[in-house]
Amino acid sequence: MTSDTRTTVHGMMALLHTLEENMSEPTVVCVYFKQELPALANAPIPGELGEQIRTQVSRAGWEAWLRAERAYVTHFELDPRSNEYTHRRQLVIREFFFGPPTDERIVQCIKFGFALPGLVRPPFPGNIGMRIYHEVSQRAWALWPAQERLLINHYGLSLVDPQSQQILMQAMEEFFFGEGSQLPEGWIPPQAPSKGGPRK
């Protein structure tokens, strides 16, 4: 067998191995994205809730929670190291994926296009705050901080400047209620590049 033939055979075997791995990758019908996606390898948290997440939430769904959690911690000024937050986190994770207890309010989310848990209270006073309270879900609201940071960095805005506040308020209204603002069915948030990895 020539060296070229050996190289070709080795390349084909490596390709077959990769295809087999991809075909055997476990999937799950994700309750968050409502479609079949690659599953988590292990329960991300201990206990019954962790096992429920492993069997019903995809990797992309769990990554979406981790991004939302960062916004949640910042918005409510929580300390993730506190015992209180550890308990509260379990409740919030359960609600994020599986819905609120029956006594909590549900809104027809204008961003996602279906019924989801609503905010506990209006995010700020005024008509836009009340409209967000009635029409925007917790899950959709968690998308706004990243968009806000992008606008602040790109345009050099300041949260203490009245003109910047007005620009951000208009951008927020457009983000949730503007034409074409509803996310397409099955939308998955883009994954951030890993640290040290190539940026596209």
* Structure confidence at residue 50 (pLDDT): 92
58 within 8 A of 33, measured Cβ to Cβ: yes
At residue 135, the pLDDT reads 94
Contacts of 65-70 with C-beta under 8 Å, sequence gap 24+, read 65/32, 65/93, 65/96, 65/97, 67/142, 67/146, 67/189, 68/96, 68/139, 68/142, 68/143
Is the per-residue pLDDT at 105 higher than 90?
A: no
What percent of the chain has a predicted confidence (pLDDT) above 70?
Answer: 75
Q: What is the distance between the alpha carbons of residues 60 and 145, in angstroms, rounded to a whole number?
A: 19
56-92 pLDDT, tens digit each:
999 999 999 999 888 877 776 778 888 777 777 888 8
Span 31-54, mean pLDDT? Answer: 92
* Averaged pLDDT score across all residues of the chain: 81
- The DSSP symbol for 157 reads -
Domains identified in the chain and CATH numbers: 25-98 (1.10.3880.10), 103-185 (1.10.3880.10)
Residue 4 φ/ψ, nearest 5 degrees: -65, -40
Q: What is the pLDDT of residue 23?
A: 54
Higher pLDDT, 101 or 178: 178
Across 11-15, average pLDDT = 61
Average pLDDT over residues 132-144: 92
Mean pLDDT (whole number) for 129-136? 92
- Give me the pLDDT at residue 194, please: 47
